[in-house]
Every structure is written in C-alpha cells, then in structure tokens.
Amino acid sequence: MEGGVQAVSPTHRLDVRGYRCPIPVGETRQALKDLDQGHVLEVRFDDPEALEDLPPMLARHGHRMLTVEEVAGDWRMCIEVIG
C-alpha cells in the first residue's frame, strides 16, 4: 500500500486559500453547520496557522478530521460531519 492513505471523496468543498486565520476557521465552522451528518467537507487553505487552529475547533464541535495533506504549497483537509 503506497503512502498508507485511503482516498476520501468529499461531498462538499470550501476554498479559503488567500485568507489568514481566523477566517479559514470561521468559514469552515460555518460550512460545517450547513451540512448533514455523514457529509465530508474538503477545505483547501494556505495559511499554516490553520493547521494548528482547525483541529481544536473540530474537536469542540464533535467533527472528525479524516485526512490532511500538503498539495502544491497549500493544504487539503477532509472533515466528516458528525451529529
């Protein structure tokens, strides 16, 4: 198994590249509010601070981070909506 990463198919996408925290966290939180349980939100961002700020927000709201990977100088995070 190359890389050990399972492909995740997002049901929704959010692109906050070009914005600095706290905007990526706030936009992600708002997008998750609008989704139903089981949906997967793909968030694309380029602010490295979001790597530190998003996981605690997800934990507070009970969502699950499925994957995070660097892609061409920015990041892709897939989040499963729980509850």
**Rounded to a whole number, what is the distance in angstroms from the first to the last CA of the chain?**
32
Nearest to 9 by CA among 47, 40, 32: 40
Catalytic option among 21, 35, 66, 68: 21
How far apart, in whole angstroms, are the C-alpha atoms of residue 78 and residue 8?
Answer: 7
Has 21 been annotated as catalytic?
Answer: yes
> Mind telling me the catalytic residues?
21
